[in-house]
Amino acid sequence: MTREDVAKKIHWRYVIGFMGMTNVVAILPQLIKVLETHQTKDLSLVMFSTILAIQIAFSADGFFTRNRTLFLSNACAACCNASLISLVMYFRSFNS
């Protein structure tokens, strides 16, 4: 059995689509919490910045390889993550 056969048998396209959406929504609870509480002291900007760089890189890979799911899911996740980073920086600067 080839890897293409395995991918078809396990409906890989749907699996990766689901995981791509999980990548997008995974940051939303943290983003909502920061918006509600304005508390950011326990959040690591280094970690979120690293994740953002990874998401941008995978989004670019999806763009260059014409993989729409990879491109869109990582681009949307990067937007959510960039929003969170911006809020953390804002609240840390103006809520001190």
Yes or no: say if 29 and 69 are a contact pair by the CB < 8 Å rule: no
**What whole-number distance in Å separates Cα of residue 89 and Cα of residue 22?**
25
* pLDDT of the residue at 80: 95
Whole-structure pTM value: 0.85
pLDDT single digits (tens) 14-73: 999 899 999 999 999 999 999 999 999 899 999 999 999 999 999 999 999 999 999 999
| Band of residue 4 on the pLDDT scale cut at 50, 70, 90 | very high
Provide the pLDDT confidence category of residue 94 given band limits of 50, 70 and 90.
confident
> At 63, which CATH number?
1.20.1280.290
Rounded Cα gap, residues 1 and 72, in angstroms: 31
| Total of domains in the chain | 1
The residue range of the domain holding 33 is 3-94
